[in-house]
Amino acid sequence: MSKMEKLRLAVAGQGFDAMLVTNPSNRLFATGFASSAGALLITANDAWFFTDARYIEAAEASITDAHVLLNTGDDPVHAQIKALLSEHSIKTAGFEERTMTVSEHKEWSEKLEIELVPAQKIINDLRAVKTPGDLEKMKKAQRIAEKSFEDILPLISTDITEKQLAAELLYRFLLNGADDKSFDTIVVSGSKSSMPHGVPEDVRIGPGFLTLDFGVKVDGWCSDTTRTVHIGKPDNEMRRVYNTVLDAQIAGIEAIHAGVSGFEVDAAARTVIENAGYGEYFSHGFGHGLGLEVHEPLSASAKSKDTLPAGAVISAEPGIYLQGRYGVRIEDVVYVTEGGCENITKLAKELIIL
């Protein structure tokens, strides 16, 4: 069953007549076609994709399970959809309340003259479960990111800046076959490694820990990996912190299986860090959903209320951050199965000392 068929089936079971999809990642999920402009209308029996002249030719060639219609200044998308709503007696439509802005909601409601009903959960639930084809693309993205990381290891020294190293990674992403980066690369060294989302600066990489958080996109699907390496000889506490993070990650991954709560997974990792005396320095959750966006709704955190379904893909990224001193994060990506999970990250995790 195609994703569009799954969406039509899901719409049929709701208390509204259609689903209006405007978010680019959700449109890509439903149609397999990426575009910066467009809208998708789905009913239990049919689907229509609307776009402008920039994408119409490619959309017609790519989309097979929806009618593709051109919108223009004389025949705008709101008017086209309103005509279809009238033709099919559609009075209510689901919309993506997670991503549609207040002003967009006001505009769609006024121009379509129908009731828009929050329906984000329909798409979230479908996107949470990856098909074998989706998983293969995510594995391909992982392999490209990993090769790129291995390619830049020989370049790491105190003679290169954080920004230069980030640029070298981006270059190799594209050289190795990625379509794009999946987020802005994090390269932070020395005392800056204590900042989980620090920004690379035009400063030379300092001695101590160097954290690299990076990912690529392949056909829209994302990878996400973090490795922390060390420049020079680490002291005993640094080794202890690194090994604690690694042990916590392993414990969290071992806790993952279909039906487990995100809270339980986080707790398995967090307990390891707390028992080592660093509980207050683990300042974020164990992991997040991953797919067509680098952060998707599923979470494994101390506040998570999610249950992980078979087929979900989540990150596994505990960390310890000693403010003003250094930080360590190790991140893999795992695929949730009935009996456990498959780690689709293949990079070694022993501490690399350069």
Task: Please tell me the distance from the alpha carbon of residue 235 to that of residue 227, in angstroms, as a whole number.
Answer: 19
Residue 3: what pLDDT? 95
pLDDT of residue 94: 97
Instruction: Determine the Cα–Cα distance for residues 122 and 219; give it in Å rounded to an integer.
Output: 23
Could you tell me the residue ranges of all domains in the chain?
Answer: 3-128, 132-343
pLDDT at 1: 87
pTM, full prediction: 0.94
CA distance 85 to 50: 14
Measured CA to CA, the distance from residue 10 to residue 128 in angstroms comes to 14
The whole-number average pLDDT for the span 101-121 is 95
Report pLDDT for 268: 98
Alpha-carbon span 319 to 213, nearest angstrom:
12
- What is the number of alpha carbons within 13 Å of residue 347 lying toward its C-beta? 26
Q: Are 7 and 45 in contact (CB under 8 A)?
A: no
Residue 195 reports pLDDT greater than 90: yes
* pLDDT at residue 168 greater than cutoff 90: yes
**Does residue 169 have a pLDDT over 90?**
yes
The predicted pLDDT at position 73 comes to: 85
For residue 37, which of 94, 76, 93, 88 has the smallest C-alpha distance?
A: 76
Contact 28, 34 (CB under 8 A): yes
Mean pLDDT of 340-350: 97
Question: Strand 313-316's sheet: what is its strand order?
Answer: 296-300, 287-289, 313-316, 332-336, 341-343
What one-character-per-residue DSSP string does 277-306 give?
Answer: T-GGG--S-SEEE-SSSSSEEEEESTT---
pLDDT averaged over every residue in the chain: 97
Residue 177: predicted pLDDT = 98
pLDDT in tens, 20-56: 999 999 999 999 999 999 999 999 999 999 999 999 9
State the pLDDT at residue 33.
Answer: 96
The alpha-helical segments, DSSP class H, found in the chain are 3-12, 24-31, 56-62, 77-87, 102-112, 120-128, 132-152, 162-175, 236-255, 262-275
Average pLDDT over residues 233-258: 98
Q: What average pLDDT does the segment 127-140 reach?
A: 98
- Using only C-alpha atoms, the chain has a radius of gyration, in whole angstroms, of 23
Give the pLDDT band of residue 339 (cuts 50, 70, 90).
Answer: very high
Least confident of 5-19, 261-275, 309-323: 5-19
Q: Which helix (H) or strand (E) holds 19?
A: strand 18-21
Tell me which CATH homologous superfamily contains domain 132-343. Creatinase/methionine aminopeptidase superfamily (3.90.230.10)
Superfamily the domain 3-128 falls into: Creatinase/prolidase N-terminal domain (3.40.350.10)
Q: What is the pLDDT of residues 200-229, one digit of tens each?
A: 999 999 999 999 999 999 999 999 999 999
**Range 50-53 contact pairs with CB under 8 angstroms and sequence separation of 24 or more:** 50/77, 50/80, 50/81
pLDDT score recorded for residue 74: 83
Residue 231: enclosing H or E segment and its boundaries?
strand 225-231
Q: Which residue has the tokens 């509980």?
A: 279
C-alpha distances (whole Å) from 97 to each of 93, 105, 221, 261, 272 are 12, 9, 23, 24, 37
Of all residues in the chain, what percent carry a pLDDT higher than 90? 98
What pLDDT, on the 0 to 100 scale, is given for residue 137? 98
Q: How far apart are CA 297 and CA 304, in angstroms?
A: 10
Report the chain's terminal Cα–Cα distance, integer Å.
Answer: 49
| pLDDT(13) > 90 | no
What is the per-residue pLDDT for 226?
Answer: 98
Token pair for residue 108?
A: 């769609």
Helix (H) or strand (E) holding 180: strand 180-181
Model confidence at 2: pLDDT above 90: yes
DSSP code of residue 313: E
